[in-house]
Each structure stands twice: as structure tokens, then as C-alpha cells.
């Protein structure tokens, strides 16, 4: 459906281009080509250049929203569509796309408002009727969903998604017979699609007709041998039938075919754990957690496995993580109490036992059961295996930890021979002109800038202090912090390089403290009363120096950017966010500051603001932002 909307808009391009000061056709056509190649981030960058000059162009906004949708940047897409619909409130394609975005964000009632207006504007549009059925389905209005899917199928009996979704709506109403009829009909109208067979197999599996389910899955796999979904279900059935070796081989195939499936890693970990192969199980739980960092089941089951392996300290950490994700997790408190007893922490164990009892008492009358999120048995894991999105409930808090590649981007620092991007800072300019040095500038190091500087490749530099500054920068980039600081100390206060020396020294000290080997890395341990801090290294001296530089020599976005990182490392998230705010006040297009502020906001539970920051960072060309959006912004 989305592809059809895109192409229909492209038909308008040639007409509109003649009335524009810029060549709209060029940007539209380039964006469309990039979109069709699957280079969505490149397409966003291309059309964003045009939108810098024509910020209200409805087609450009729609194209960018469509590309962002494909990148899972739903909040960014919604922002563009909101802007578009202010000026063009009856643009049907935009209404339909915003409805799709809102459905992805679990804003189903708002999506229904958009889709109903689109249906009024184009009552005969088949795709709009189908989208309305999807929205009814997500609102759990199954009779209305069935009605819309039926209308779609009357006009197009081969519409596979309408057929399958109608079958699932019947299934959720308890009408298994009619659901199977739809699924079987889909096998006739779409004989080369594995989807109908997978759905039939799910029904058989739920009815404990395992052999029939396996036969049906074999048909799906004959059509799509690399279907991760079909292989996963097959592995679960094989494991239930005590064919453990075969199940492990099948689920390993599923992982090879769908390496981003946290659910497959999760279930393979359960299989390994039940066989007593704890090391393999824990490796898979870690892989699953890397993909779905907010999933409480993964963290809890990892804690169980650590405890079974008698690795009690790690068990306590994993359970603390699960509790931080879901503070009402009675079973996690109970198990952590047992683990703490093993570690000799009687006071902590008593607190956890009390917390578990209070939670159970509070929810004992809940008709759904107070232990709703505590059942992590093999049977329950099979049940959730059929969830399309393997994530925690929407009301769970954001984790207090980020994945390895989600770490903040590097500190801003003084570099040699780099181009100054943002506002020139007076001491940088002065050092260049007075000391006769190569050009100094603030940059954010990346793979192509973080390197040792070979003085022999530079023009002759007569000033010894300039040479020492360049050498210290090179040593700091090579993580030789002591040597770098010793050279910096040799630059006198009266030197024109003194302000630059202070910046390099502050950032070098931050890196030295951050990467110093310590027995325990600073982490946050969550509990029912909120997150508490362990001992954190002291960054107060370099923080004070960066603040003094901003006061003495004038504000610069890079100084506040580095302050934001230093505060983050000090676990002062509020001050970190304010520092990034100030950097962005001074330079609104500072992509790295947007990215880092987003990560700080994720840690504070400010997901909507964080995801919009990430969207802007991606829009400015920071592709890494879209990887974080994929993990943190889908709900």
C-alpha cells in the first residue's frame, strides 16, 4: 500500500517543478531512486536538502515521512506529516500514512480518526478500507475489522493480507473453524505464499496437533526454506516432542535466517538451559538482550540461569535489571532474595521478600492474576512465541543501560588540520594566527579523524609549545593519557596556546578517568524504589575547567557538548541534558549533540523527546541514529 501511494505522488512531480525556484523534480526523482534502492537514510538526506529551502513543500514532506517510516522512525515521520497536514489537511495519502504511523505507535484511536477522514474523502479506495480494518483489529474491534476485511475481499478475493487478517480476527473471536477456512482459502488464492501455511500450523500447534502442525510447516518451508518464523515454530514443536537435538538444529537454522530475531535466541537459550548447558544458554540470552534490551523475560530468565549455574553475583545483576524494567515483578524479587542469601546479604534478602509479598497481596484479587508477568516457564515462553513484537508491555520503564553501540559519541576536542564546522572559538582562531601552527579546530572524532598525527607530514612548526600541543593531541588519541598530560603541563600559562591546552587537558582527563581499569564498572542497579547509584568516578575537575572556559572565552557548542558527556559519565543526567540543550541552542544542526541528548533522554524515560532527537540526527546524516531508533522507538 505504501509503495502505491509513493508512486501516485511521483506522477505530480513534473507539473510542480516548473513553479519552483529550486529544481523540485531533481530532488523528488533522486529521492525516489534512493527509496526504490532501499537506501532510505540516503533518501532522507537528499530530500532534506530541498526542505531546508522549501520547508512546507507537501510532496517533499510526504516523501521524507515515507522514508522515515521505512527506517522505523515513526515519530520523525509523524512530525513531518503533522506539518504537512496543517497546510494540506485533506491530503488523503498523508492521512493514510499518518494512520499507519500512529498504529505503529499504539495510538490506534488517533489512527482511526485519520483513516475515517481518508475514507470519507475516498470512499471507494480499497486500500483505505483495508487500513481501517487493520485499525479496528488493533483496537480489538474484531466484528468491525471482519466487516472491512470482507469488503476488501469482495473487491479483491486474492488480497492475501485481508484474508489472513480476517482469519486471525475470527480466531480471536473464538471461531477457529471459520479462521481455518480463511487460511485454507488463502492457500488456494496465493499458492506460493508460506504465510497461510504458517497460520494454519499455529492453530494446529495451539490444539496440540503437533504432527499436523509439522506437516503444514513443511509445506511452508518448501515455499520459503529460509522462513525464520516457520523454522522457529517447527523447533518449538520438535522440542515439545522431546526431539531436543533436532529442535536445536532447527532453531539454529532460524537464527541463521533471521539473525535479528531475539525471540529465536530466547527460545534456544531455554532449550540449552533445560539441557544444563548454561554457558550456551547465557550466551543466547545476551544476544537476545542486545536485540531487545527492554525485554523483562530475557533478563529474568538470564537471572534464573545464572542462579542455576551458581553464578550468584551475575544472577543478582540480571534480576535487578528485570526489576528495573518491571518494578511489580514479584517472582523476580523472590528469586533475588534467594540469590542475596547465597551472597550473604541477609538485609537485602529480607527487603526483597517483603517486596514480593506486598506485590502478591496487592494483586491477589486481580482477575488476570497478580503473577501475570512472572510466568517465565517453558509453556509461557511458547505462548509469547507467537507475539509479532517480542517486547515488554508498553507501560514498562526504559532500561537504565544501553547497548554497546548505543554509547554516547566521542568527546569534542581540539584537532589538527580539521575543518571548523560550527562557530569559530576565539582561542582557536588566535592560536592559528599567532603561533604559526597548522589549523586547530574542534571536531567530534570518527573513524577517519581519530588517528595519530605525524609531525613530519606537517609544514615546519617553529614554536616548541605548538609542537608539544600537537604531540599531546596525538598521544591522547592513542589513549596514552599520562604522556599527553605531561606534555600539556609543559605549555606555560602565558602562551597563546594556553586556552587550547586547557581544552585538550580537560578532555584528556575525562577519557583517562573513563577508561581507567577498575574492578567494577559503574552501573545503576534498579529496584522498586527507583534506580540507585553505585560509586562513580569523580569528573568534577575537568567539568569545572570546561565550564570556566565557556565563561572566560565565550560560549561554544562544542564545549557544552563535551560537558554533556562529562555529566553523563558522572551519572548526572539532568545536567547532561541541559548541557546538550545549550549546545543545540548555539547550533541547532549539531547532529552529534542531538544523538547524545537522545540517549540521555532514553535513560530518563523521555522516549518521545529522545526519538524525535534521533530522527533529527538521522535527518542530518548520522545514520547510526536509525539503528538506535530501531531498538528504542518502535513503541
Phi and psi torsions of 443, nearest 5°: -145, 165
Confidence of residue 443 (pLDDT cuts 50, 70, 90): confident
Residue 330 has pLDDT above 50, yes or no: yes
Q: Quote the pLDDT of residue 477.
A: 82
For 465, half-sphere exposure in the C-beta direction (CA atoms, 13 angstrom radius) is 18
Q: Would you place residue 260 in the very low, low, confident or very high pLDDT band (cuts 50, 70, 90)? A: confident
For residues 452 and 143, what is the distance between their CA atoms, to the nearest angstrom?
67
CA–CA gap between residue 542 and residue 563 (Å, rounded): 9
Cα–Cα distance measured from residue 635 to residue 627, given in angstroms and rounded to the nearest whole number: 15
Nearest to 453 by CA among 467, 436, 432, 442: 467
* 186 HSE (CA, 13 A, CB side): 26
Average of pLDDT values for 282-300? Answer: 89
What pLDDT was estimated at residue 276? 94
pLDDT-derived band of residue 369, with 50, 70 and 90 as boundaries? very low
Lowest mean pLDDT among 31-45, 335-349, 439-453: 439-453
What phi-psi label fits residue 256: left (phi over 0), alpha (psi between -120 and 50 degrees) or beta? alpha
Cβ neighbours around 38 below 10 Å, total:
9
Q: pLDDT, tens digit, for every residue of 182-220?
A: 999 999 999 999 999 999 999 999 899 999 999 999 999
pLDDT digits (tens, 9 = 90+) for 29-54: 898 888 888 899 999 999 999 998 88
Select the highest-mean-pLDDT range: 133-147, 365-379, 600-614, 620-634: 133-147
Q: Is the pLDDT of residue 400 over 80?
A: no
Average pLDDT over residues 582-600: 94
Nearest to 621 by CA among 42, 7, 12: 42
Helix/strand/coil percent split, the chain, to 5: 65, 0, 30
Going by C-alpha positions, the residue among 70, 24, 9, 78 that lies closest to residue 43 is: 70
What is the chain's mean pLDDT, rounded? 82
Residue 615 Cα distances to 2, 251, 358, 579, 623, angstroms: 20, 35, 41, 20, 10
**Euclidean distance between CA atoms 519 and 204, whole angstroms:** 52
To the nearest 10 degrees (0 to 180), the angle between helices 591-603 and 607-619 is 160
pLDDT (0 to 100) of residue 475: 87
Give the C-alpha separation, 602 to 407, whole Å: 12
Consecutive H or E run containing 532 = strand 532-533
Give the separation between CA 217 and CA 227, rounded to whole angstroms. Answer: 10
At 404 the pLDDT is 37
In a 3-state reduction of DSSP, which class is residue 404? helix
What confidence tens digit (pLDDT) does each residue in 88-97 have? Answer: 999 999 999 9
Q: Percent of the chain scored above 70 by pLDDT? A: 81
Q: Please count the residues of the chain.
A: 635
Share of the chain above pLDDT 90, in %: 54
| Distance in Å from the first CA to the final CA of the chain | 22
Nearest Cα residue to 202 out of 191, 188, 192, 216? 216
- CB of 266 closer than 8 Å to CB of 284: yes
Please write the tens of the pLDDT for every residue from 418-427.
666 777 777 7
pLDDT digit string, tens, across residues 409-419? 889 888 776 66
Give the CA distances from residue 32 to residues 39, 65, 92, in Å, rounded to whole numbers and listed in that order: 10, 13, 20
- What does the buried/exposed string (b/e) look like for 156-195 if buried means 16 or more CB atoms within 10 Å of the residue's CB? eeebebbbbbbbbbbbeeebeebbbebbebbbeebeebbb
| Residue that has been written with the C-alpha cell 485519520 in this structure | 114
Please report how many Cα atoms fall inside a 13 Å half-sphere around the Cα of residue 224, on the Cβ side.
20
Q: What are the pLDDT digits (tens) for 158-191?
A: 999 999 999 999 998 989 999 999 999 999 999 9
Provide the pLDDT for residue 580. Answer: 96
Q: Give yes or no for residue 401 having a pLDDT over 60.
A: no
Q: What is the DSSP string of 411-446?
A: PPEEEESPPP-S---HHHHHHHHHS-PSPEEEE---
Report the 3 state secondary structure along 308-363.
HCCCHHHHHHHHHHHHHHCCCCHHHHHHHHHHHHHCCCHHHHHHHHHHHHHHHHHH
CA distances from 389 to 2, 44, 392 (A): 21, 26, 9
pLDDT at 529: 33
- Cα angle value 82/86/87 (rounded, 5°): 125
pLDDT band of 624, cuts 50, 70, 90: confident
- In the beta sheet, which residues pair with residue 413? 443
pLDDT above 70: residue 13: no
What is the reported pLDDT for 495? 82
Return the higher-pLDDT residue of 7 and 336: 336
pLDDT reported for residue 22:
65
Residue 450 pLDDT greater than 80, yes or no:
no
Q: What is the pTM of this model?
A: 0.68
Q: What is the pLDDT of residue 456?
A: 61
Give me the pLDDT at residue 460, please. 64
Task: Give the tens place of pLDDT for each residue, 460-473.
Answer: 666 788 888 888 88
Say which residues have a Cβ less than 8 Å from residue 217's Cβ, sequence separation at least 6: 197, 198, 201, 230, 233, 234, 237
Helix (H) or strand (E) holding 95: helix 92-104
179 contact partners, CB below 8 Å, separation of at least 6: 167, 168, 170, 171, 203
Q: How many helices (H) and strands (E) does the chain have?
A: 33, 4
**350 vs 374, residue with greater confidence:** 350
**Confidence at residue 451, expressed as pLDDT on a 0 to 100 scale:** 57
Amino acid at each position: 500500500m505504501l509503495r502505491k501511494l509513493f508512486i501516485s505522488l511521483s506522477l505530480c512531480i513534473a507539473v510542480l517543478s516548473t513553479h519552483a525556484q529550486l529544481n523540485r523534480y531533481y530532488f523528488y526523482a533522486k529521492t525516489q531512486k534512493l527509496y526504490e534502492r532501499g537506501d532510505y537514510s540516503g533518501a532522507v538526506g537528499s530530500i532534506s536538502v530541498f526542505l531546508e529551502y522549501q520547508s512546507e513543500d507537501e510532496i517533499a514532506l510526504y516523501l521524507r515521512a515515507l522514508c522515515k517510516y521505512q527506517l522505523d522512525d515513526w515519530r520523525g515521520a509523524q512530525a513531518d506529516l503533522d506539518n504537512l497536514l496543517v497546510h494540506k489537511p485533506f491530503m488523503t495519502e498523508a492521512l493514510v500514512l499518518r494512520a499507519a504511523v500512529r498504529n505503529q505507535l499504539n495510538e490506534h484511536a488517533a489512527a482511526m480518526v485519520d483513516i475515517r477522514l481518508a475514507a470519507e474523502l475516498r470512499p471507494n479506495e480499497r486500500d483505505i478500507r483495508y487500513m481501517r480494518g487493520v485499525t479496528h483489529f488493533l483496537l480489538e474491534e474484531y466484528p468491525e475489522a471482519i466487516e472491512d476485511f470482507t469488503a476488501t475481499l469482495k473487491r479483491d478475493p486474492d488480497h492475501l493480507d485481508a484474508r489472513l487478517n480476517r482469519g486471525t480476527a475470527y480466531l480471536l473471536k473464538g471461531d477457529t473453524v471459520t479462521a481455518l477456512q480463511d487460511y485454507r482459502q488463502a492457500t488456494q488464492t496465493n499458492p506460493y505464499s508460506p504465510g497461510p501455511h504458517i497460520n494454519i500450523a499455529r492453530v494446529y500447534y495451539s490444539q496440540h496437533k503437533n504432527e499436523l502442525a509439522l506437516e503444514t510447516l513443511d509445506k511452508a518451508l518448501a515455499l520459503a526454506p529460509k522462513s525464520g518464523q516457520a523454522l522457529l515454530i517447527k523447533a518449538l514443536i520438535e522440542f515439545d516432542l522431546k526431539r531436543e537435538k533436532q529442535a536445536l538444529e532447527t532453531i539454529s537454522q532460524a537464527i541463521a535466517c533471521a539473525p535479528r530475531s531475539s525471540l529465536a535466541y530466547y527460545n534456544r537459550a531455554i532449550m540449552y538451559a533445560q539441557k544444563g548447558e548454561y554457558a550456551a544458554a547465557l550466551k543466547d540470552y545476551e544476544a537476545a538482550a542486545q536485540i531487545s534490551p527492554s525485554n523483562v523475560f530475557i533478563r529474568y530468565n538470564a537471572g534464573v540461569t545464572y542462579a542455576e549455574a551458581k553464578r550468584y553475583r551475575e544472577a543478582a545483576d540480571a534480576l535487578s535489571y528485570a526489576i528495573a524494567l518491571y518494578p511489580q515483578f514479584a517472582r523476580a524479587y523472590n528469586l533475588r532474595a534467594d540469590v542475596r542469601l547465597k551472597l550473604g546479604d541477609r538485609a537485602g534478602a529480607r527487603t526483597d521478600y517483603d517486596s514480593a509479598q506486598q506485590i502478591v497481596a496487592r494483586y491477589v484479587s486481580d482477575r488476570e492474576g497478580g503473577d501475570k508477568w512472572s510466568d517465565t516457564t517453558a509453556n509461557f515462553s511458547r505462548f509469547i512465541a507467537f507475539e509479532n513484537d517480542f517486547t515488554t508491555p508498553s507501560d514498562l520503564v526504559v532500561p537504565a543501560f544501553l547497548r554497546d553501540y548505543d554509547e554516547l559519541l566521542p568527546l569534542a576536542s581540539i584537532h589538527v588540520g580539521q575543518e571548523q564546522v560550527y562557530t569559530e572559538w576565539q582561542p582557536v582562531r588566535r592560536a592559528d594566527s599567532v603561533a604559526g601552527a597548522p589549523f586547530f579546530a574542534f571536531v567530534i572524532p570518527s573513524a577517519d579523524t581519530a588517528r595519530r598525527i605525524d609531525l613530519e607530514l606537517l609544514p615546519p612548526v617553529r614554536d616548541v609549545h605548538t609542537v608539544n600541543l600537537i604531540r599531546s593531541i596525538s598521544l591522547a588519541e592513542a589513549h596514552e593519557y599520562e604522556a599527553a598530560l605531561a606534555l600539556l603541563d609543559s605549555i606555560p600559562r602565558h602562551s597563546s596556546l594556553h586556552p587550547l591546552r586547557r581544552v585538550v587537558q580537560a578532555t584528556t582527563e575525562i577519557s583517562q578517568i573513563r577508561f581507567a581499569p577498575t574492578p567494577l564498572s559503574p552501573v545503576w542497579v534498579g529496584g522498586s524504589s527507583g534506580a540507585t547509584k553505585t560509586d562513580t568516578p569523580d569528573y568534577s575537575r575537568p567539568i569545572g575547567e570546561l565550564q570556566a572556559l565557556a565563561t572566560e572565552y565565550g560560549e561554544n557548542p562544542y564545549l557544552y557538548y563535551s560537558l554533556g558527556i562529562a555529566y553523563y559519565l558522572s551519572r548526572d543526567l539532568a545536567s547532561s541534558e541541559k548541557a546538550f540543550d545549550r549546545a543545540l541552542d548555539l547550533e541547532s544542526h549539531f547532529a552529534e549533540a542531538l544523538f547524545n541528548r537522545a540517549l540521555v533522554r532514553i535513560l530518563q524515560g523521555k522516549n518521545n523527546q529522545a526519538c524525535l532527537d534521533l530522527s533529527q540526527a538521522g535527518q542530518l546524516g548520522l545514520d547510526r541514529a536509525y539503528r538506535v531508533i530501531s531498538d528504542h522507538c518502535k513503541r
